[in-house]
């Protein structure tokens, strides 16, 4: 971990924070195949002033070799030089050939400062000259160093390290030598290696707008604003064979910060003559004095604009179908144009379409058309011999229209669970269609209400409805309108079903009776129209759980039920719920409590005899019973009296049991069940030793 702590320590050295923001040294680097060039500058005028006096020192730390982070970074000083402005005598030989040297020398050594040399982008000079003198000196000195590498070297702001290796990466520190009591200045740094070299990209998206003896050239500046600080614009007069700069000085960006940088940069060039093709290309200039490859070449020629535009002066409408347009344009310019185009639109500021198949001859001034819209807008376009166009103002034609649009079709839609209705339909093919009206009703055969304030131009419409209502369905229809507000026939009515959020009304018990056959219940079904079924629940008194006793579907229209599975003397609770088509359940009906009629038991079976057949392994019971109305007999069996349980039901007067084991005792009891639902008492217990 030692190597990581060391690297963090180096970075922290360069970013020490203070109570107020310190001046900083900004550093950039340009790697080449065998060297690295550094450029730096302070970001505040006062710091620049003191650094010119005390200078800068450079340290280099090798952090990576052969793509491996070093355990112990190598530290060295690639130069023992103290970097600060050279003596004025050293500047003088260069000032005769480089105006930027003169500007920087005046800023650094001059007692007063005035701008006397022309620099592309005059608005910078105007802004800076209104600032304080130190800020003016600072700004122009750094600007000159950016444009001129010679100036940067003389100013002590540039260094080329030729001792680098291809397999290493370095952290360069540019350290201010100004005492901290003068002004605190943060160290600048940059991390770079020879392997980071990339060729300069050419400027892109070059455009040209040519006019009368002028050309406005523009290109994308924003994409390469961190690479190029200026540009050279070059022009060719010999079909692109040779190019020359259009100005002695490169064009610089004059925006004050990167957030205000426009996407494109512009320059206007004066052309020697019209009707001659000129070629342009752009080159970028870096702070290291490099010139980029040229951009793509664009070309164009200046031209003399026509002194007049066409103008529509009259129109005539025939039989509400045809219109003739007449326009004016100087006949003296016929030789300078190739013809006219007629443009048409349904809106003043809408999209215009060319309606003539062939270009109208220069001497023509009339055209006939069948306008497709009630209100139709026309324009006349004239084209000169250089491909430039000139257009008239829009001209409106109104025709009488009493024919309505066709009936709309394809109406459909859906309702979501929140009550939002989404309608859609097929677009009419009427050329003069203006829009649609939407109508709504809760009942198919009642009056519909218009719900649109103004005609809907699209084929989609959104409505909001109440879904917490007992009215399950809602109905829509639409009507088309043309620009004269002629209404079409109504579309077919479209039916939508509201999503069901309302549970059905509860059913109500209204009568009951209890007799020896069971308990009879009577109720009124739920009044909700969407009920699909009713469910009857029952529980025995003092039980907590309700059990489904019966389900009644609405197509059976049942409103009564006899419960024959009750026991004499027992108390039963009943309730009902209604369930609708959406599965929503009503509140349970008010529970009904009924005691089963306690009837007198019929006489018990008394004459019982039995026979044991050990050879065939069965026991047969036979009995006699003189009561009428017997439906069946219930046979109870057990291996003890305490374990007697219902074993079989027969409708004869005998019973044969073959499920026996030797050396066991078996006990039997017989009970009669009548068609009326009454039962006899239990017979005496029959004990059989098998």
Q: Which pLDDT tens digit goes with each residue over 654-675?
A: 999 988 888 889 999 999 998 8
The arithmetic mean of pLDDT across residues 296-321, rounded, is 89
pLDDT tens, position by position, 180-203:
988 999 999 999 999 889 999 999
Task: Give the Cβ contact number of residue 597 at 10 Å.
Answer: 16
Report how far apart the first and last C-alpha atoms of the chain are (Å, whole number): 94
d(CA 246, CA 232): 8
Residue 503, pLDDT above cutoff 50:
yes
607-689 has the same fold as 508-595 = yes
Residue 173, pLDDT above cutoff 90:
yes
> Model-level pTM?
0.51
Contact 200, 293 (CB under 8 A): yes
CATH code given to domain 412-497: 2.60.40.10
Question: Which band of pLDDT confidence, cut at 50, 70 and 90, is reported for residue 115?
Answer: very low
Contact 646, 634 (CB under 8 A): yes
Supply the pLDDT for residue 599: 61
- Report in angstroms the alpha-carbon separations of 454 from 61, 277, 424, 449: 74, 55, 17, 14
**607-689: CATH, from 3.40.50.2300, 3.40.50.300, 2.60.40.10, 3.10.105.10:** 2.60.40.10
Question: Which band of pLDDT confidence, cut at 50, 70 and 90, is reported for residue 261?
Answer: low
Cα dihedral sign for 347, 349, 351, 353? Answer: positive
Contact 85, 52 (CB under 8 A): yes
Most confident of the following: 219-223, 528-532, 678-682: 219-223
State the virtual CA torsion across 312, 313, 317, 323 in degrees, nearest 10.
-30
Residue 11, pLDDT above cutoff 90:
no
Domain 207-301 grouped into CATH 2.60.40.10: yes
Computed over every residue of the chain, the mean pLDDT equals 87
For residue 680, the 8-state DSSP code is: B
The arithmetic mean of pLDDT across residues 601-613, rounded, is 87
d(CA 142, CA 42): 9
Residue 129, pLDDT above cutoff 60:
no
Question: Which band of pLDDT confidence, cut at 50, 70 and 90, is reported for residue 500?
Answer: confident
The residue length of the chain stands at 690
d(CA 118, CA 114): 12
Residue 135, pLDDT above cutoff 90:
no
Q: Which CATH superfamily is domain 508-595 in?
A: Immunoglobulins (2.60.40.10)
- How buried is residue 111: exposed, middle or buried, by Cβ count under 10 Å (0-12/13-18/19+)? exposed
SS3 of residue 288 by DSSP: coil
Supply the pLDDT for residue 255: 56
d(CA 343, CA 351): 9
Residue 481, pLDDT above cutoff 80:
yes
Residue 242, pLDDT above cutoff 60:
yes
pLDDT tens, position by position, 79-98:
888 999 999 989 889 888 88
Supply the pLDDT for residue 112: 61
Supply the pLDDT for residue 121: 43
Domain 311-398 grouped into CATH 2.60.40.10: yes
SS3 of residue 154 by DSSP: helix
Residue 263, pLDDT above cutoff 90:
no
Q: Which of 567, 330, 375 minimizes the C-alpha distance to 484?
A: 375
Helix (H) or strand (E) holding 603: none
Helix (H) or strand (E) holding 13: helix 2-14
Helix (H) or strand (E) holding 151: helix 149-154
Least-confidence region, from 275-284, 285-294, 549-558: 549-558
Residue 341, pLDDT above cutoff 90:
yes
The arithmetic mean of pLDDT across residues 257-264, rounded, is 62
Supply the pLDDT for residue 648: 93
Supply the pLDDT for residue 119: 42
pLDDT tens, position by position, 232-241:
999 999 999 9
Supply the pLDDT for residue 298: 93
Supply the pLDDT for residue 320: 67
- The alpha-carbon radius of gyration of the chain (Å, integer) is 52
Question: Which sequence spans correspond to the domains of the chain?
Answer: 2-196, 207-301, 311-398, 412-497, 508-595, 607-689
The arithmetic mean of pLDDT across residues 49-69, rounded, is 92
The arithmetic mean of pLDDT across residues 445-450, rounded, is 93
Q: Determine the distance from the C-alpha atom of residue 199 to the mean position of all C-alpha atoms in its chain, rounded to a whole number.
A: 39
Question: Which band of pLDDT confidence, cut at 50, 70 and 90, is reported for residue 260?
Answer: low
The arithmetic mean of pLDDT across residues 379-397, rounded, is 92
List, in sequence order, every beta strand (DSSP E) within 304-401: 311-318, 322-328, 337-345, 353-354, 366-369, 375-384, 389-391, 395-398
In percent, how much of the chain has pLDDT > 70? 92
Contact 192, 36 (CB under 8 A): yes
Give 490 or 110, the one with higher predicted confidence.
490
Residue 130, pLDDT above cutoff 80:
no
HEC readout, 465-497 = CCCCCCCCEEEEEEEEEECCCCECCCCCCEEEE
């Amino acid at each position: 971990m030692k190597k990581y702590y060391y690297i963090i320590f180096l970075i922290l050295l360069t970013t020490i924070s203070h109570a107020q923001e310190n001046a900083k040294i900004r550093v950039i680097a340009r790697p080449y195949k065998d060297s690295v060039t550094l450029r730096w500058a302070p970001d505040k005028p006062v710091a620049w002033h003191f650094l010119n006096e005390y200078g800068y020192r450079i340290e280099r730390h090798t952090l990576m070799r052969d793509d491996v982070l070093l355990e112990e970074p190598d530290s060295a000083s690639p130069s023992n030089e103290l970097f600060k402005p050279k003596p004025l005598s050293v500047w003088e030989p260069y000032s005769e050939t480089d105006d930027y040297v003169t500007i920087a020398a005046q800023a650094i050594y001059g007692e007063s400062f005035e701008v006397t040399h022309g620099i592309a982008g005059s608005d910078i000079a105007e802004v800076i000259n209104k600032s304080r003198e130190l800020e003016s000196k600072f700004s122009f000195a750094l600007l000159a160093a950016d444009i001129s590498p010679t100036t940067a070297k003389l100013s002590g702001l540039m260094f080329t390290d030729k001792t680098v290796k291809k397999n290493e990466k370095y952290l360069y520190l540019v350290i201010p030598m100004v005492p901290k009591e003068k002004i605190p200045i943060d160290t600048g740094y940059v991390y770079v290696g020879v392997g980071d070299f990339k060729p300069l990209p050419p400027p892109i998206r070059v455009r040209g707008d040519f006019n009368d003896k002028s050309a406005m050239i523009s290109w994308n500046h924003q994409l390469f604003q961190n690479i190029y600080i200026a540009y050279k614009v070059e022009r060719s007069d010999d079909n692109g064979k040779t190019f020359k700069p259009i100005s002695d000085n490169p064009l610089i960006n004059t925006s004050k910060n990167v957030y205000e940088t426009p996407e494109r940069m512009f320059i206007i060039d004066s052309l020697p003559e019209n009707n001659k093709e000129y070629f342009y290309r752009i080159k970028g200039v870096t702070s290291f004095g490099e010139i980029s490859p040229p951009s793509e070449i664009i070309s164009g020629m200046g031209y003399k604009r026509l002194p007049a535009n066409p103008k529509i002066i009259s129109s005539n409408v025939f039989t509400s179908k045809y219109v003739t347009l007449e326009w004016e344009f100087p006949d003296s310019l016929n030789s300078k144009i190739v013809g006219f185009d007629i443009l048409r639109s349904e809106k003043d500021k809408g999209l215009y379409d060319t309606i003539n198949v062939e270009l109208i001859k220069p001497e023509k001034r009339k055209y006939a058309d069948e306008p497709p819209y009630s209100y139709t807008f026309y324009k006349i376009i004239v084209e000169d011999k250089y491909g430039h166009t000139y257009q008239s103002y829009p001209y409106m034609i109104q025709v009488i229209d009493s024919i309505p649009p066709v009936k709309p079709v394809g109406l459909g839609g859906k309702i979501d669970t929140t009550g939002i209705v989404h309608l859609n339909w097929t677009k009419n093919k009427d050329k003069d269609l203006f829009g649609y009206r939407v109508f709504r009703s809760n009942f198919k055969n009642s009056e519909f209400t218009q719900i649109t304030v103004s005609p809907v131009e699209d084929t989609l419409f959104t409505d909001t409805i109440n879904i917490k209502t007992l009215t399950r369905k809602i109905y829509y229809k639409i009507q088309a309108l043309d620009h004269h507000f002629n209404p079409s026939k109504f579309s077919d009515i479209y039916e939508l079903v509201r999503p069901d959020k309302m549970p059905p009304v509860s059913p109500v018990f209204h009568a009951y009776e209890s007799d020896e056959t069971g308990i009879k219940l009577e109720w009124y079904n739920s009044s909700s129209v969407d009920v699909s079924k009713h469910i009857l629940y029952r529980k025995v008194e003092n039980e907590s759980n309700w059990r489904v006793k019966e389900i009644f579907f609405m197509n059976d229209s049942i409103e009564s039920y006899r419960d024959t599975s009750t026991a004499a003397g027992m108390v039963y609770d009943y309730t009902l719920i209604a369930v609708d088509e959406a599965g929503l359940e009503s509140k349970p009906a008010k529970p009904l409590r009924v005691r089963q009629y306690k009837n007198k038991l019929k006489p018990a079976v008394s004459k019982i005899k039995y026979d044991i057949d050990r050879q065939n392994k069965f026991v047969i019971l036979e009995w006699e019973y003189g009561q009428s109305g017997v439906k069946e007999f219930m046979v109870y069996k057990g291996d003890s009296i305490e374990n007697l349980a219902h074993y079989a039901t027969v409708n004869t007067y005998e019973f044969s049991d073959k499920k026996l084991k030797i050396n066991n005792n078996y006990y039997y009891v017989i009970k009669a069940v009548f068609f009326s639902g009454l039962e006899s008492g239990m017979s005496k217990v029959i004990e059989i030793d098998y």
